[in-house]
Amino acid sequence: MNELTHKWQECQRILKENMTSSAYQTWFAPIVPVSYENSTLVLRVKSQFIAEYIEENYVQLLSRVLFRVFGIGTHLEYRALVDSTTGAGAIIPSDGLNVEKVRKQNELETEFHSSSPVEFESQLNSSYTFDNFVAGEPNKLARTAGLAITKQPGYTAFNPLFIYGGSGVGKTHLAYAIGNQIRLLHPDKKVLYVTANTFKLQYQAASVNKHIPDFLNFYQSVDVLIVDDIQYFSGLDKTQDTFFHIFNYLQQSHKQLILTSDRSPMDLKDIEDRLLTRFKWGLVAELESPDLALRRDILIYKMRHEGIELHDEQIDYIATHVTNSIRDLEGVLASLLAYSTLMAQPIDQTLTEHVVGRVVHIKPKTIELVDIIGAVSEHFNIPSRMITGKTRSQEVTQARHLAMYLAKKMTDHSLKEIGDSMGHRNHATVIHAVSCITQQLDENEILQKRIYQIKAALQR
Ligand code: ADP
Ligand code: MG
């Protein structure tokens, strides 16, 4: 080993002791000493950016190290690789090596001190997991990709994983779930959750206090970085710029990035193109608004976990009316629970409708006679014309009676109008049908169920 290499290794050893290992790995480990002649040390760096970064952030430390190892008064030049094939590069003289300044500083601090590694907290909320994330068609892609990531963070094609969707559809829950699962499967990995807003505030504080290197070191030291609500980077040029460097660094070192947003990369406003392009490098997965099946499943799941009892009719009512946000579904359950405990009253349909009415604006749906005939015909799987026709088979008669009963209960039409619409029957026939059904209703559970199902279909 020649003397230059030997001396540079000694410099690297001291540098390493005086910064976090990720900072060292990023900025100093890749440097190769080129020559040391006439008191000038030439170091090869990968890019001009690296040279500038070191000049701006580490020159004090570097000069102290160089003066100690190579001698006071050493000059420094960086050679930045411009073209990796020819090795031709720009020469950047260091203007930061100032003997006087360093001498003074050395008098004050006789020894290098090692900066203690930043305390690490993942900031994950451990109550959001895959176990309590109800699976369904609208979240299938995002959930599956998330699970795949947890097995091999950083080494799947889903890097970054960009999850987007409207408010309350489960973005934060899923992001936490991925983070928590990674910690479970890979306890040695540093997982960090941060909202875009917090990132911005931290960056701004670091910038004011001149702690940008620490800030970068910290972010570059994580194995999994989750940034929630990235749309808040909109218009923040400097924050975006810094995030861009962190993103690149992490991505290139096979560290996993998970980003969430309230809209797709294509629809993000005032975010640099180079960031948008990178957001699309991995997988862009939409968390779609919950469909009826998922809303129902989530209600049933939460109901069991929160000890609320609801009848099918109420679950259906909530699931059909509270449609966009799972947060709203939870809100309804929480209110129902509160009401029933405070008022010591069971959760019945009236209470359910009242609570749902406060969360969503329900426009009363007007139900027409034809709708009823249609719904009954669909339920019994009998053509409408048979209901309004002459057939007197038992099933058709029951269907017809039911249609008349529902028409009486659910519309304001007169008995005559109802009779007319059901194949020109007179009002006495309608009265008979309604009383028939009413009489059976108490004891006939199948009939109760039919009515409930047809009503539910009509409400949709
Ligand atoms: P977003 O971040 O998209 O606005 P959140 O992740 O905060 O939405 O979700 C809102 C609420 O809905 C949270 O309490 C979350 O636990 C719940 N939630 C969302 N999706 C599901 C799901 N698939 N299963 C269970 N709960 C869910
Ligand atoms: Mg959220």
Give the mutation target among 174, 232, 326 for probing the ligand 1 site: most ligand atoms within 8 A of CB. 326
When the pLDDT of each residue in the chain is averaged and rounded to a whole number, the result is 88
The arithmetic mean of pLDDT across residues 3-8, rounded, is 92
63-67, 250-254, 331-335: lowest mean pLDDT where?
63-67
- Evaluated on CA atoms 182, 187, 190, 195, the torsion sign reads positive
> Given pLDDT bands bounded at 50, 70 and 90, which one contains residue 362?
low
Quote the pLDDT of residue 85: 53
Band the pLDDT of 210: cuts 50, 70, 90: confident
How many residues are given for the chain? 460
Task: Report the nearest atom of ligand 1 relative to the CA of 132.
Answer: 25
For residue 89, the model assigns a pLDDT of 62
Extract the tokens encoding 350: 């009236």
Q: Which range is least confidently modeled, 44-48, 94-98, 132-136, 341-345?
A: 94-98
Q: Which residues contact 7 (CB under 8 A, 6 or more apart)?
A: 33, 36, 69, 70
Model pTM greater than 0.75?
Answer: no
pLDDT of 83 higher than 70: no
Could you tell me the distance, in angstroms and rounded to a whole number, from the CA of residue 164 to the centre of ligand 2?
10
For residue 176, report the distance from its CA to the centre of ligand 2, in Å: 10
Residue 180 confidence (pLDDT) above 80: yes
- Does 107 score more than 60 pLDDT? no
Mean pLDDT of 179-204: 93
Residues 6+ apart with CB under 8 A from 240: 233, 271, 272, 275
Q: Which ligand is nearest to the CA of 301?
A: 1
pLDDT at 101 > cutoff 70: no
Among 17-26, 147-156, 206-215, which stretch is predicted with the lowest mean pLDDT?
A: 17-26
Contact yes or no for 456/316 (Cβ under 8 A): yes
pLDDT score of 99 more than 60: no
Give the mean pLDDT of 30-48.
89
CA geometry: angle 170, 171, 173, nearest 5 deg: 65
Residue having the nearest C-alpha atom to atom 16 of ligand 1: 173
Mean pLDDT calculated for residue range 207-234: 93
Q: Which residue has the higher pLDDT, 21 or 379?
A: 379
Q: What is the largest CA-CA distance in the chain?
A: 117
Round to whole Å and give the CA distance between 460 and 455. Answer: 9
Give the count of alpha carbons within 13 A of 424, CB side only: 1
Mean pLDDT of 300-312: 89
Q: Which of 92-101, 325-334, 345-354 has the highest mean pLDDT?
A: 325-334
3-state secondary structure of 75: strand
Give the span between the Cα atoms of 165 and 371, in whole angstroms. 34
pLDDT at 111: 40
Mutate to test the pocket of ligand 1, among 173, 259, 287, 294 (most ligand atoms within 8 A of CB): 173
Position 88 pLDDT exceeds 90 = no
Q: What is the distance in A from the centroid of ligand 1 to the CA of 134? A: 9
Say whether pLDDT at 159 is over 50.
Answer: yes
